[in-house]
Amino acid sequence: MSVLTPDPVLRLLERAAAHCGPGAARLHAVLAADFPAVLSRRPAQLLRAADANAEDLDQLLAMAGFADTEDLRACAARETGRRLPVPDQRIADREGEPGDRTALRRILAREQENLAGTLDALHANGALELAARAVVAGRRRWVFGDMKSIGYAALVAADLSAALRDVTLVQPGVGAAVTALADAGDQDVLITFSFRSYSRHTVRVAREFHALGGTVVAITDGYDSPVCAYATHVLAVNTRSESRTHSPTAVTATGHLLASLAAAGAKGAARRAQRRQALTWALSDGEGTTPADPPERTAP
């Protein structure tokens, strides 16, 4: 009985490239020129050499039957009987220039650690669930962030607005804060972001909202953050970073989870989201954002 021999790796890639676009064909040419030694290069280096993008690489590998570049490297090593080195996960500050280098693997590990640690802690201590309940129970919801946190606040406000009524993004600045605090009441909720270096303006807004009797949900980097003195619920987030600024990975995820849990617990959230989608479609007259199933229009 004959034994089927698997096709060589390069032949699989060649066949796959014939069914993909020009970017995949250029990638195949780069791989074939110095195979298998070329697999010691990082994926980004291969893409630059082939003037291709990540989608080209994903399509080529999938068409050839490989899960990713690690799978490709393992198959090539078995086929050639060679031990192929793992790509050097270092990125120069500027291409071709020596100097300080940052380990890509270390950065990715740090971000994964931040995210996993934050989500595990928030799930274990129940803080996220309690904060979401408070957001749902609030009469009105105010969202505030200063400096870099402006972006976080905008994302959470947008997510909440899709499912809940009376959500207001408070713009940074004394005037906007005064207007919001003058309108806020003791049944309202403030979601605020505060990270090193702590914005005094953020702390003052939280202080005045707390003085009104409202509920303050603080997304911050630790229980020793100044804003915690006025917070009813504290969502502590890991923001350690290899760079000089705090990491946004776990912050963004926590804000999204808070909004998602609040939406899940709100009555009529799905109906409101569908209504907003239909209105967006109607007001755009079919242009711009397109819902998955646009509402049918009746003839005039």
Residue ranges covered by each domain of the chain: 9-88, 108-283
When the candidates are 3.40.50.11310, 3.40.50.720, 3.40.50.10490, 1.50.10.10, the CATH number that belongs to 108-283 is 3.40.50.10490
Separation of alpha carbons 76 and 68, rounded Å: 12
Q: Is the pLDDT of residue 299 over 50?
A: no
CATH, range 9-88? 1.10.10
Asked whether 162 and 279 are in contact (CB, 8 A), the reply is: no
pLDDT digits (tens, 9 = 90+) for 122-158: 988 899 999 999 999 999 999 999 998 999 999 999 9
Whole-angstrom distance, CA of residue 152 vs CA of residue 161: 14
Q: What is the number of other CB atoms lying within 10 angstroms of the CB of residue 71?
A: 13
Query: Could you say which DSSP state residue 92 is in?
Result: E
Q: What is the pLDDT of residues 76-91, one digit of tens each?
A: 999 888 887 777 655 5
Looking at residue 93, its pLDDT comes to 42
What tokens appear for 49 in the block? 């050499």
Q: Pick from 35, 32, 31: which is nearest to 43 by CA? A: 31
62 has a pLDDT exceeding 70 = yes
**Interval 18-24 mean pLDDT:** 93
Read off φ and ψ for residue 68, nearest 5 degrees: -165, -175
Q: What is the pLDDT of residue 92?
A: 46
How far apart, in whole angstroms, are the C-alpha atoms of residue 242 and residue 172? 28
- Tell me if 9-88 shares its fold with 108-283: no
Q: Which of these, 143, 158, 169, 138, lies nearest to 289 by C-alpha position?
A: 158
Chain mean position to CA 16: 32
Name the pTM for this structure: 0.67
Residue 148, phi then psi, degrees to nearest 5: -65, -25
For residue 245, what are its two tokens?
A: 């600024």
Structure tokens at 262: 């609040």
DSSP track, 145-164: E-TTHHHHHHHHHHHHHTT-
Contacts of 134 (CB under 8 A, 6+ apart): 189, 215, 217, 232, 233
Amino acid at 21: G
What is the model's pLDDT at position 85? Answer: 77
Residue with tokens 């049944």: 187
Res 202 pLDDT > 80: yes
Rounded CA separation 153/66 (Å): 41
Reduced to 3 states (helix: H, G, I; strand: E, B; else coil), residue 299 is: coil
Q: What is the pLDDT of residue 7?
A: 64
Confidence of residue 103 (pLDDT cuts 50, 70, 90): low
| Inter-residue contact 214 to 184 (CB < 8 Å) | yes
Confidence label for 205 from pLDDT (cuts 50, 70 and 90): very high
